[in-house]
Chain A
Amino acid sequence: MTTLRQFSRFVAGSIGLMLRGPAVYWVWVATLVALVASGVAAYVTQVSEGLIVTAMRDQVSWGFYIGNFTFLVGVAAAAVVLVIPAYVYHWKPIREIVIIGELLAISAIVMSMLFVLVDVGRPDRVWHLIPGIGHMNFPRSLLAWDVLVLNLYFVVNVVVVTHILYRAFSGREYDKRFVVPLVLLSIPLAVGIHTVTAFLYNGLAARPYWNASILAPQFLASAFSSGPAILLILLQLLRRFTRFEIQQSAIAKIAELMAYAMFLNLFLHGAEAFKEYYSATEHLRFTQYWFEGLDGHRTMVPYAWTAVSLNLTAFLLFIVPTTRNNWITLNLGCVATYAGVYIEKGMGLIIPGLTPDTLGEIYEYYPTITEVRVAAGVFAVGFLVFTLLLKVAVPISLGEFQSDRMPEADAATAPRGLEPAPAGSAMSLRRTDH
C-alpha cells in the first residue's frame, strides 16, 4: 500500500510538473494543441468522407501516412545508438542521456502507430488485429509481425523509463536485475522493429523497387543517422535551458557515429542505383521515376535530388572533425540529415515503390492538404508526448523532483543527480550530493 501511495504521489507530482512552466513552454504546448486540433478536424472529415479526401488511389494505394510511419519507426529504433554504448560498453558520457533516447523512442512509436491508424479504411475495426479478441494472421503476415514488435518495443521502453524515473523519484537505486535484461532485450527489439518494417516492403515481389534485399540494412543505416540527428539538437536545447549536464564529448561521439551511419546509407543507395542503372532492366522505371521522372511525370524529381544533396552535405559535415565540433555546422548537419532521410525514406520509398503501378500506369501522387493536416496533427501528438515526458524526466534526473522534496521546495538547493555508475559496477542511478 505504501508503494501504491508513493506511486500515486509520483503520478500526481508528474502531472503537477506538466502544468507548471514558463511562458515559452505554454506557447509551445498551445501551438502543439492547435496543430492536434487541426489534425483531428481533418481526420474527422477523412473518416466521414472516406480516404477519397487523400490523394491515394488504387494505383498508389499508400502515400504520405505510410511514408511517415516508416520514417518514425527508424527514429524509434535509433534509440539503440545510445543504449548500446551506454549499457554494453559502459561509456559514461552517453549513459547520462540514454533516458532521453528512450523517451524519444516512446514518442516515435506513438506517432508511427498513429500513422498506421489514420491510414486504415476502417479504424473502427482495428481490434480485428488483436490476437484472441480478433484474428491475427501470424506468422504469415509481416504486418502482424510489425504490430507485435512495435507494441512490445513500446511496452519495454515505457516499463524501463517508468521504473528508472519512479525509483529516482523515490530516491532509490533502480533494480538492476529488472532493468538490465529489459535494456538488453530492447537492443535486438530496436533492430527488429526496423528490420520487420523493411521486410514488410521487401517481401512484395509485385513491387521490384522494394523487393531488394538491400532494403533492411539500408533502413537501419538511415535510421541510425536520422534518429540521433533529432537527439543532438534536443540535447543542446536541454543543455541550454536546463541544468542538465551533457558533455561535449558525448555530442561529438554521437556525431561521429552518425557520419559512419550516413556513409553506409549513401553507399547502400549507391549500390542499389548501380545495379538498377547498369543492368537497366524494366525494373529501372521505378528508380527513374524518382531521379529523372518518367514520360514527363517529374513531380518527385526535385525531392529526390534535395534528399541526395542533404545527405551528402550531412556526411561531409560530420566526417570532418572541425565541422562536427563547431556548433553551427553540427546543427546544420543535423537538420540536413533529418530532412534528407525524411524525404528519402518517406516519399522516396513509398511513392516510387508504387509508381508506375503493377500494370504500368503512372499516377502522380502528391499529398492533399487534408493529409498534410492529419500528419501535422500526428507529429504534434508525438511532440506533445515527448515534451510532457521530458518535463517530468529532466527534473527527476536532476534530483529536483523527489518524493521527500516536492518541486516547490528545492529551487535554490544544489542539484542532485543522475550520476553515472563507476566503471565496472554495472549500472546504478544514485543520488549524490555534490
Chain B
Amino acid sequence: MEPTAKQERGMTRRQFASCTAAAAAGFLMTACGPKRLFDMPRDRLRTLIRDMERDYTEKYGTAVTVADTPPIPGVKFAYALDVSRCIGCRRCVYACVEENNLSRDPQVHWIRVLEMDKEKGIDFAHADPYYEADKVPREKHFYVPVACQQCDNTPCTKVCPTGATRVDPDGIVVIDYDWCIGCRYCMAACPYGARHFNWSEPTIPEGQLNPNTHYLGNRPRPKGVVEKCTWCIQRTRAGRYPACVEVCPVGARKFGNLLDPESEIRYIIEHKRVLVLKPELNTMPKFFYFYGT
C-alpha cells in the first residue's frame, strides 16, 4: 500500500505540473496568438466551431452544423437587382429572416424595401419603408430593396476599433460576432443602414432555427453585437444562390461571380443601365441596381 500511495502522490504532482504547463501554454497561445476567428489557424477554428455546434444544438434542441467554408479562389461575388421588375412583395425580407436566423422579437430585417414615388425617382428623403398595401405594386410607386451593398471601399470596416469586421477575398463583408464589442461605430459609418444591432437577446421560436449555418453568417448571434447581410455566405460559398434570389417571384434578383466573363451578372453590368446607391460616397458597392426593361 505504502509505495502505491507514494506513486499516487507522485502522479498527482506530475499531473498538477502538466496541467499547469498546459494552462500556461493555453494562456500564452490565447494571449499572443490570433484573437479573431478569421485569423485562427484552421485546426483551432475547428475546435471552437465544434464547441459552437454543441452549444447551439443543446440550446435549440436540433442538430446544428456550423460551416467554416473559406472563400472560393477566383470568385468575387456581385449582386444585381432589377428595379423595373421588383413589385415590393417583401418575400425576400421574410425568406432572409428564416434563412439567416434573424431575431423575430425584436424584429431584425437585413433587407429593407423602400417604396418610392415614380415622380421623384430614387429619393431616400421621401422613401417609405413601412408601406402597407392590400396589393403590390401600388400605382405611381416603385420599390427599392436595400441591404448590405458589400462595398469594396468599406466605411464600416475602416472605423471598427477592434477589427471585428472585414472584407473577405470573395467580397463579402463579414463580422466576427465573438469579437465585436457592440460600440456601433460601424452603424454610424454605414451609408445604407445595412448594419443592425441586437438591442436585446435575439429570439427564434422553437423549431424555426435554420440548422445549416456558417460561423461568419447565420449562426445564432448573442445580444449586444452588430450583424448584417452576408449574401447567405452559408449558401453561396457552397455554390448555391442566396435565399432572396431564390424566393423572388419576379426574378428581379441576380447573383453571380464578377470575375467570370460568362456570368449573368457580367452580362447585366455590361448591357443594362446599371446604377449604385450614393455613388458620390465612393463606397464602390458590389450591389448593382438596373432597369431590365
From B155, B181, B222, A120 is in contact (CB under 8 Å) with B181
Query: Is A411 interfacial (CB 8 A cutoff)?
Result: no
A119 interface hit (Cβ, 8 Å): yes
**Among listed B7-15, B188-196, B212-220, B235-243, interface-contacting one:** B188-196
The listed residue with most B CB atoms (<10 A of its CB), out of A49, A134, A357, is: A134
B201 lies within 8 A of A359 (CB): no
B54 in the interface (beta carbon within 8 A): no
| Per-position 1/0 for B120-147, Cβ under 8 A of A | 0001111101000000000000000010
Are B201's CB and A50's CB within 8 A? yes
Provide the A20-62 mask, 1 if CB < 8 A to any CB of B, else 0: 0000000000000000000000000000011110001111011
| Closest residue of B by beta carbon distance from A205 | B281
Give B59 Cβ to nearest chain A Cβ, in Å: 17
A58 touches B185 (CB 8 A): no
From known contacts A58-B193, A122-B180, infer whether A360 and B126 are also in contact, taking CB-CB under 8 Å: yes
Q: In the bound complex, how far is the Cα of B127 from the Cα of A122, in angstroms?
A: 33
Interface string of A260-289 (1 = CB under 8 A from B): 000000000000000000000010010000
B179 touches A126 (CB 8 A): no
Stretch touching chain B among A137-145, A174-182, A378-386: A137-145
> Is B114 a contact of A359 with CB atoms below 8 Å?
yes
Q: Does B169 contact A (CB under 8 A)?
A: no
B199 at the interface (CB under 8 A from A): yes
Interfacial chain B residues near A6, Cβ < 8 Å? none
Residue A302 at the chain B interface, CB threshold 8 Å: no
Given the contacts A122-B181, A135-B36, A360-B127, A50 and B191 also touching, CB distance less than 8 Å: no
Does any Cβ of B come within 8 Å of A354's Cβ?
A: yes
* A52 pairs with B159, CB closer than 8 A: no
Q: Give the Cβ gap from A349 to chain B, nearest Cβ, in Å.
A: 12
- Asked if B1 lies at the interface with its beta carbon under 8 angstroms from chain A, I say no
Give the distance in Å from the alpha carbon of A137 to the alpha carbon of B190 in the complex.
Answer: 17
Q: Is the CB of B224 within 8 A of A50?
A: yes
* B199-213 contacts to A (CB < 8 Å): 199-201
Interface contact A141-B159, CB-CB below 8 Å = yes
In the bound complex, how far is the Cα of B281 from the Cα of A50, in angstroms? Answer: 33
- Report the minimum CB–CB distance from A241 to chain B (whole Å): 41
Which residues in B have their C-beta under 8 angstroms from that of A135?
35-36, 162-163, 179
Is B31 in contact with chain A by the CB < 8 A criterion? yes
Q: Is A206 an interface residue (CB 8 A)?
A: yes
Q: How far is the CA of A206 from the CA of B277 in the complex (A)?
A: 12
Neighbouring B residues of A113 by C-beta, 8 Å:
none
1/0 per residue, CB under 8 A from B, across A353-368: the answer is 1101111110000000
Contact between chains at B181 and A121 (CB < 8 Å): yes
In the complex, number of A-B residue pairs with CB atoms less than 8 Å apart: 141
Q: Say how far B161's CB is from chain A's closest CB, in angstroms.
A: 4
Q: Does B97 contact A (CB under 8 A)?
A: no
Contacts of B124 in A (CB 8 A): 358-360
B181 touches A141 (CB 8 A): no
A51, B199: Cβ atoms closer than 8 Å:
yes
Q: For residue B282, which residue of chain A has the nearest CB?
A: A205
* Contact in complex: B199, A57 (CB < 8 Å): yes
The CA of A252 and the CA of B251, in the complex, are separated in Å by 73
Q: Is the interface of B mostly helix, strand, loop or mixed?
A: loop
User: A136 touches which one: B158, B161, B187 (CB < 8 A)?
Assistant: B161
| Residue A253 interfacial (CB < 8 Å) | no
Q: Which of A121, A126, A207, A359 contacts B192 (CB 8 A)?
A: A359
- A116 to chain B: which residues have CB within 8 Å? 183
CB of A133 within 8 A of chain B? yes
Known: A56-B199, A126-B181, A359-B127. A61 touches B162 (CB 8 A): no
Q: Does residue B164 face the partner (Cβ distance < 8 Å to A)? A: yes
A308 at the interface (CB under 8 A from B): no
> A388 at the A/B interface (Cβ < 8 Å)?
no
- In the complex, chain A residues whose CB is within 8 Å of the CB of B185: 141, 143, 200
Residues on the A chain within 8 Å of B201, using CB = 50
CB-nearest residue of chain B to A356: B125
B35 CB contacts on chain A under 8 angstroms: 128, 134-135
Q: What class of interface size applies to chain B in its complex with A?
A: 35 or more
Q: Is B198 an interface residue (CB 8 A)?
A: yes
Residue of B nearest to A207 (CB): B188
Q: Are B199 and A129 touching (Cβ within 8 A)?
A: no
A351–B191 Cα distance when bound, in Å, is 16
**Cβ of A204 < 8 Å from any Cβ of B?**
yes
Q: A135-B35, A137-B162, A359-B127 are in contact. Are A125 and B179 (CB under 8 A)?
A: yes
Residues on A with C-beta less than 8 A from B76 are none
Tell whether, in the assembled complex, residue A129 and residue B114 are in contact, meaning their CB atoms are under 8 Å apart.
Answer: no
Nearest-CB distance from A72 to chain B (Å)?
A: 17
Is A376 close to B, CB under 8 A? no
- State whether A143 touches B183 (Cβ < 8 A): yes
Q: Write out the residue numbers on chain B whose beta carbons fall within 8 Å of the beta carbon of A357.
A: 193
| A18 at interface, CB cutoff 8 A | no
Evaluate whether A121 and B162 lie within 8 angstroms (CB atoms) in the complex, with A58-B187, A204-B189, A359-B146 already known: no
> Does A147 count as interface, using CB distance less than 8 angstroms?
yes
Most buried by A among B114, B155, B159, B281: B159
Determine the residue in chain A with the shortest Cβ distance to B199: A52
Q: Could you jot down 27 A-B contacts, CB within 8 Å?
A: A57-B199, A58-B193, A61-B187, A121-B183, A121-B225, A122-B225, A125-B179, A125-B180, A128-B35, A128-B164, A129-B181, A133-B31, A135-B162, A135-B163, A137-B163, A141-B159, A141-B185, A204-B188, A204-B189, A205-B191, A206-B281, A285-B125, A353-B188, A359-B192, A360-B124, A360-B127, A361-B193
Listed in ascending order, the chain B residues whose CB lies under 8 Å from chain A are 31, 35-36, 106, 112, 114, 123-127, 129, 146, 155, 158-164, 179-185, 187-193, 195-201, 222-226, 281
17 new A-B contacts, CB < 8 A, other than A120-B181, A121-B223, are: A50-B224, A51-B199, A51-B200, A59-B193, A122-B180, A122-B224, A125-B179, A128-B179, A134-B162, A135-B179, A137-B162, A137-B163, A140-B158, A204-B159, A206-B155, A206-B281, A358-B191
Task: In the A-B complex, list the 10 residue pairs whose CB atoms are closest, starting with the nearest.
Answer: A121-B182, A121-B224, A50-B200, A206-B191, A360-B124, A52-B200, A143-B161, A52-B199, A137-B163, A61-B187
